Amino acid sequence: MRVCILHYKSGTDGVSLEIKKRIKILKRLGLKPCFVAGSGNADYVIPELSILHKSVKQFNMHAFKNHNNEGAKRLFKRHSEATKTKLDAFFDEVKPDLLIVHNLFSLAYNLPASHALAEVIRQRNLKTEAIHHDFWWDRDSFVTRSGFVRNLMLDILPPHIPQIVSHIVLNSIERKKLLIRRKIKAKVFGDLFDFEEANKYTKSELKRLLKLKQEVVFLQATRILRRKAIEISIDFIERFMKRSGKKATLLLTNPPEKYIDMDYLKQILAYAKQKQVKLVLAYKKAPEVEFFEFYKVADFVLYPTILEGFGNQFLEAVYYKKLPILFEYEVFREDLKKEGYLYISLGERYRVVDGMIRVPRTAIDAAVRKALYYLARSRLYSAAVDKNFQIAKQHHSPRVLENYYRVLLASIAMEKTIANVAQLFKIPSKEVRNVVKKLLKI
């Protein structure tokens, strides 16, 4: 069987990392999956899928900034048709048995491509799994006064088409929302506990590359986005240094989205300088090093994000046996917290002041005290991260998803066989299916 995976891009963002894990799982099942993206290191690149395509940026300007119905309609038609032509050519060549679509049916970054993909799936009767890491209704950036754009989102995010045989969400909160808003039932599969071994560099080599000495290293292994609340990490480290007298460094592994979050990068660089917090951009200092290698030099992982579909970086911290210091965002409280992890909390309340995200000083000070407690007790630290590792292994093993795909692929293979038999003997597929059901009962 041929399986194809589609996404806007290939990169180091959480969705791209989850795709890599799914590719591993599908390969373990004996398949040869192909990865299709709008940009980056994919097996097939279709530029029209990218959110940075010139036509898409122009459409989004009309759709979500200018709220220009006519401009949006014109650009939508042009880019949707161009995308459909490229997708048709691709599917003529590849002919997948299963299509796995990440976020194109849940976010409005490229509505023309989402519409074109839905049309191609429907016309070609392509069996599809739609994976929704986030939804457009949770993003302020997708608020629009354009009736045309609003109706598009309501129509295709996600679409009601029978070819989508399975909808997947990352948490129970989004499952409830999807059912209420779109009358669509979904299965919940959180991020997977299946990461790459960090074995290309030694700890001392990495410290030399990053020019780190004896300071305490706090790692934030996220992209540079406003919702990742890096300013909270800076506030934490400032208080940590004042209370302990120790030197400390904030290590950021992943760059901002080009053209989208550069202003935020400038803002946090200036803020770190103001607070006298040493901030190292690992992706610039050591661009040849994969981000997961940097966990070796970390004493703690900071995860102050205020909004996540699940929590890939939380599981990374657990896998690489680093104690997480985290803000208890909604999905963590709803799904992950109950699994019983040990962590250092930054609380669950925040406010925005002058464009910067703040948590109460009392929460930061309590977290600093706890971090110093664990830093002075290496045995307790080791026991905590070992316990976390075993919990995650139990709840987020790739085996759960492997079993799901075995069943899904077997079902698709059965349907394909039924269709072939029906065509061969010129009888309705329903009759063949009934015969198969009777035989399975014998």
Alpha helices in 286-337 (DSSP H): 312-319, 330-331
Task: Give the domain ranges of the chain.
Answer: 3-189, 203-384, 398-415+418-441
pLDDT at 197: 64
pLDDT at 181: 95
Residue 278 host element (H or E): strand 278-281
pLDDT of residue 442 exceeding 60, the answer is: no
The total of other beta-carbon atoms located within 10 Å of residue 420's CB is 12
Residues near 64 by beta carbon (within 8 Å), at least 6 away in sequence: 108, 141, 142, 143, 144, 149
pLDDT of residue 309 exceeding 80, the answer is: yes
pLDDT of residue 160 exceeding 80, the answer is: yes
Q: How far apart are CA 223 and CA 218, in angstroms?
A: 15
CATH class (in words) of the domain with range 203-384 = alpha beta
Q: What is the SS3 assignment for 339?
A: helix
Helical packing angle, 14-28 and 398-425, nearest 10°: 60
* % the chain with pLDDT above 90: 71
pLDDT at 258: 63
Q: How many residues does the chain have?
A: 442
In CATH, which of 3.40.50, 2.60.40, 1.10.3470, 1.20.120 is domain 3-189? 3.40.50
Q: Which residues is 35 bridged to in the sheet?
A: 5
pLDDT at 13: 79
pLDDT for 253-283, tens place per residue?
A: 988 876 567 889 999 999 999 999 999 999 9
Q: How far apart are CA 320 and CA 197, in angstroms?
A: 9
Could you check whether 3-189 and 203-384 share the same CATH topology?
A: yes
Among 192-206, 301-315, 406-420, which stretch is predicted with the lowest mean pLDDT?
192-206
Distances (CA, A) of 196 to 199, 264, 301, 319: 9, 29, 17, 10
pLDDT for 184-200, tens place per residue?
A: 999 999 888 776 666 67
pLDDT at 200: 76
Instruction: Tell me which DSSP letter residue 100 carries.
Output: E
pTM for this structure? 0.80
Arithmetic mean of pLDDT, 22-45: 93
pLDDT of residue 205 exceeding 90, the answer is: no
Say which residue, 415 or 383, is predicted with more confidence.
383
| Average pLDDT of the residues of the chain | 92
pLDDT of residue 400 exceeding 90, the answer is: no
